[in-house]
Chain A
């Protein structure tokens, strides 16, 4: 059913008589052309674009719990394309372009809102580095503005301009960046994929892989029985390494905890997304009014979806240093997501490394913004068995060749990216 004003009015008047499930509750068939493991944003977007762009409709998305229950439901909802390196910037810029029309594409209001992001500048060296980045963004048609201190102050007078340990000297802004309603993105892609005939199978855990004699992957073992597939695609976020372990496949990723926080709702306070340049703190305000914020990784390898006090304190020290008027707002909820951090801080989208297998992982802590482009490029990779030009830099062999994409220059230490 297409959502429209007419539809809303009719259902309002009839007590929602004419509503239907947003997607079918599918039970798995014995065989598919493509089976995607992981029903998060990336998996569902991949299924959607496989069907829409490549005409491959015989697809199942297998989800252990409920769709969107992993990192798609545990993030700070920001999309942006303010990257520096040529391996990254065109990919993320395509993602922003897809975000810009996602409501109309999906007929689902994912509440993408281009509120802008400002990376604050606190030193001359930082300004030079951001100028390089801003120019890289302009080269990629992503848009960027370099703000001086007064422009930042006009835009965000509530920041601490007069009493700061690290004074604000300007900012790099991407006006086209923004936030979206993260759950709605998942539901929108799920509903869209379902309309194309994709089976979305929830509460079905993949427990292993089917292999033929050559070692090629030919399907998956699940809690609902074996499912054969020509192609098996992994979009498992923080669970990737646990599944690839069953293929004796070790990947250059570590699983780390990243916390996020939300405050009690208050009236509009913060216009867009702000990142503090002298500490680990970034923040935006949701449509409901809660401040949504986060900071650094907890710093150790873990599958536990919970964070700890030292990083909470570090994050809020940054918050109070930047915006001392938020002190009396209250922390409502905190949660920890598992990030698969790679050795260069950039993702992996690739064919293989085993026949029949396709990898989409290592999103570090930046997977949400990539959701549409990740699905777009991964679908292309699966359908054509060639990397999409926009994600060609994300191949697994880059760690062998040295063509790494290390935005932060932190090197092969995952918890520093």
Chain B
């Protein structure tokens, strides 16, 4: 066990059991999986992406590239989970990934031996011979070897929430700068949200041994949090990573229940926050970065800052005996902390020769050997055992099981880049610092490149107060708490040229220093080319660790400075976010709202089978016992309507109420035909075009009285037509006195169709005379009452071709109306009919619908040419006059029958001339709708054919290569029953 006897912010009274690769271990409350594994001396935890190199724990944060595990199992399996951020809970199960057959012996590690051949971008130069082998052999093998963990076995059983939050100031990060910023703004009365990615507040203060106001950092954090909690205007959000700066809002992920085995009932696993702040202080801190040297990826090599965290925060010694390899003072302090906690530190190797006496004195005092101007050139051991050091006087071997590496700190500038701001290079700290920030964002503390604790505390307070003042709050710059003003002294150092063995820049993707040099040699010298060519920075840490070193090496090999070479850009998200969090509740049946029709419950009672029609659920058909197929039920329903009567809920049609003296003029401009001449109490069928002359929608509009009108649209275009009308009114013709509202939801509408429709209707209206043949002729409308006083509108219109009425009542009465109609029609043996029968009858009648109104057909294509008024202007008229619209080769609407009446037509077939080869050039059009007509006893269809009505009587082929049919068809007029319209006028 490497658990230290005392110390750390873990609760030793609360042991937690967990497993890794099926072996049972124990940790404590407050541990991460990584700290608990280290405490149990588990050093080998993963395998790299390309070479399958053995890897250990490198960091203590979300930037971890190596220690990725599959957490949980089955449908809750989370691949690529960073052990360094996974909070330990009792019963946690984790497994290593990307290895076969086992973590300790991975057959794919042979890739590493072939690394001279499998260098950067080798893929592009090989696997091309023979041609077929890429897809058959190489690619499948590469795909199997690549990838990391395995996705879950089944649908995610947990649920996810979304929430919005608004504030004056969003503070990102709760280290010294973040706490001071939140305090300063909070004290001034600003509404503050403090978001912390970790499960504890404090940032670096959790990991460092220092003093603030003569007390421990922990005491300072406790006091600060207590004060913040006392403000009602401050909201503290722990376990909440702000992952992206978007336009006017920030995306944040709260891990609500990731620290328990299974979320409590009704508790979401995670919550996606959309935070809309007025100002932002980014206090995201800084990140320790690696040094590129031979064997820097061996388990046992760890960032010095991470080692310090494990020692101080988790009470774990990552190694029994360590060495240090660094270019800065912070790594020395980490070593001192480890030594003071009882973990032996054998030597500190520093590339610098001018380390301050204060720092070297600390080593002397502890008896730690120092090798200044030294470099680690290689490491050896299955896990780390041997470190070879170039001391300046020769090579020396250190026998250690831990190496604390630190290449200095890079400010976490990521969120500053999300609006396209480029970080700028600061030579004094050899790091990128924030450039142009998103609007309203300032950066505080170590994220600015100012690393000392005293500076971070002061800077945070200043920036928080400034943000509050900027918003009109009265806030003086606070007096910062007394703290150490320690130096970092980091010196640019990236790459040990004398390295022996593979020296990694990007750990997970196995990008080596040599790969960077090769990319440059092959001309990929732009930073973005380097990234894309070598995959540097494309792993799960998105280059947080390796990008700067990669850039520095590229600068060196190309003889440029770092600013000349480029910069590193970061895109959202800061840290990877579970996909389900973005979807929230919108999955499964709740993916989109479900709109039942008003008569839904009644249709269910009648055995209706439902089908999705856009957002609606509509009854498709009503099967009877003894009807083996859908077709049997539909045939019965159609014949019942044609011979007697049926009813159907048509409430899904879009309904728009228009009023005002100018509605007639308005409609004249949006419909191709004239409406201003329509008399009150009359209905007219209309067609409207888009600006480009193509048909947008069709439907009927009724003039209820002089200045009240009711429009219907197709179900599919209800929203679009309304949007169009509003646009026309508000943008094009605001001078017209027209008001409109969508009333699709307000009216239930039931159609009654069939020779006996009037009898049924008269059974539900209060005044039967109002709907008599004389009082209500075809295309007439009446406002009346039904069912004893319920306000109703009756339209005498027909989609089926039979005598037909549509009765509209306020939606809450819709179900009652349907029941009343069914009851009133019992004597006539009325049937409910569904969408299927409706579709059959409209094809029989030759009415166009969705497949014909597909956004590609003109009024003339659809046979509406004569409807178009020549006496007025309307939307689409001019562009519908263009050359292409007059092209005689333009396919137009025809009716289709199979020559052999026993054959079945299917929509989607293309028309070919007899004997023509099936080629694009021979294509004569397509069959848009087809059905079996029970009325005629054979299959019929509608389609678009070159030549259109001139081809009536000709024979073509309906070629359906997709389903292997090719049948002769006869072209006819697109109306199969009652072309004179006798029935509907009956």
Contact = CB atoms under 8 A, between A and B. Distances in A.
Interface stretch (A137-145, A348-356, A363-371): A137-145
A108 B129 CA distance: 11
Interface in A327-367: 327-335, 343
A65 B155 CA distance: 43
A289 B148 contact: yes
B579 A334 contact: no
B739 interface: no
Nearest to A289: B147
A244 B611 CA distance: 50
A101 to B, nearest CB: 8
Given A325-B75, A328-B152, A331-B577, A109 B126 contact: yes
Interface string A12-44: 110110011111110000000000000000000
Contact of B879 (A9, A335, A402): A402
A178 to B, nearest CB: 9
A135 B116 contact: no
A104 B131 contact: yes
B90 interface: no
Contact of A8 (B75, B122, B274, B518): B122
B579 A309 contact: no
B883 A325 contact: no
B883 A86 contact: no
A122 B613 CA distance: 10
A321 B588 contact: yes
B883 A403 contact: yes
B908 interface: yes
A325 B77 CA distance: 10
A207 interface: no
Interface stretch (A157-165, A223-231, A377-385): A157-165
A22 B528 contact: no
Contacts of A20: 521-522
B248 to A, nearest CB: 9
Contacts of B928: 128, 132
Contacts of B691: 411-412
A326 B579 contact: yes
Interface string A270-313: 00000000110000010111000000000000001110110011
A167 B694 CA distance: 31
B523 interface: yes
A247 interface: no
B151 A326 contact: yes
A4 B128 CA distance: 9
B147 A25 contact: no
A3 B126 contact: yes
A325 B855 CA distance: 36
A135 B147 contact: no
B139 A8 contact: no
A410 B909 contact: no
Contact of B246 (A89, A184, A285, A308): A308
Most buried by B among A22, A167, A265: A265
Contacts of B244: 309, 334
A406 interface: yes
A183 interface: yes
B69 to A, nearest CB: 13
B768 interface: no
A81 to B, nearest CB: 12
Contact of B579 (A5, A166, A316): A316
B583 A316 contact: yes
B959 interface: yes
B694 A411 contact: yes
A406 B856 contact: yes
B420 to A, nearest CB: 7
Contacts of B148: 264-267, 289
A317 B884 CA distance: 40
Contacts of A163: 155, 588-589
Contacts of A239: none
A171 interface: no
A208 B104 CA distance: 61
Contacts of B117: 8-9, 12
Nearest to A183: B532
| Count class of interface residues, chain A | 35 or more
B247 interface: yes
Nearest to A138: B961
A278 B918 CA distance: 31
A64 to B, nearest CB: 12
A114 B963 contact: no
Contacts of A264: 79-80, 148, 540, 576
Nearest to A334: B572
A140 B856 CA distance: 20
Given A265-B49, A327-B152, A313 B582 contact: yes
A330 B576 contact: yes
Q: Is the contact region of chain B dominated by helix, strand, or loop, or is it mixed?
A: loop
For B49, B142, B514, B526, which residue has the most chain A Cβ atoms within 10 angstroms?
A: B526
Nearest to B587: A320
Contacts of B884: 398, 401-404
A137 B690 CA distance: 28
B127 A109 contact: yes
Nearest to A115: B135
Contacts of B249: 308-309
A307 to B, nearest CB: 8
B393 interface: no
Of the candidates B156, B540, B591, the one having the most CB atoms from chain A within 10 angstroms of its own CB is B591
A65 B663 CA distance: 56
Contact of A308 (B123, B247, B523, B882): B247
A314 to B, nearest CB: 9
A166 B960 contact: no
A123 B715 CA distance: 15
A266 B150 contact: yes
A22 B522 contact: yes
Contacts of A387: none
A328 B883 contact: no
Contacts of A12: 114, 116-117, 119
| Residue of B119, B690, B692 contacting most chain A CB atoms (<10 Å) | B692
Given A66-B529, A128-B908, A129-B854, A267 B885 contact: no
Interface in B838-884: 850-851, 854-856, 879, 882-884
B652 to A, nearest CB: 14
A136 B690 contact: no
A375 interface: no
B919 A139 contact: yes
B910 interface: yes
A327 B155 contact: yes
Interface in B320-335: none
Contacts of B162: 313
B732 interface: no
Contacts of B854: 129, 409
B639 interface: no
Interface string A237-274: 00000000000000000000000000111111100000
29 contacts: A16-B518, A22-B524, A23-B523, A73-B532, A103-B134, A104-B131, A123-B613, A130-B908, A133-B908, A135-B908, A135-B962, A139-B918, A139-B923, A140-B919, A166-B592, A264-B80, A266-B148, A289-B146, A315-B582, A316-B579, A317-B583, A319-B583, A320-B579, A321-B587, A326-B579, A328-B580, A331-B573, A403-B884, A411-B694
Interface of A: 3-5, 7-9, 12-13, 15-16, 19-25, 65-69, 73, 86, 89-90, 101, 103-104, 107-111, 113-114, 122-123, 125, 127-136, 138-141, 144-146, 160, 163-167, 181, 183-184, 187-188, 202, 263-269, 278-279, 285, 287-289, 304-306, 308-309, 312-313, 315-321, 324-335, 343, 398, 400-404, 406, 408-412
Given A325-B153, A401-B884, 13 more contacts: A128-B928, A131-B908, A160-B155, A264-B79, A287-B139, A289-B143, A289-B146, A309-B244, A327-B578, A333-B572, A401-B883, A404-B692, A408-B855
Q: Which 5 A-B pairs have the closest CB atoms?
A: A409-B855, A131-B908, A289-B147, A327-B580, A327-B156
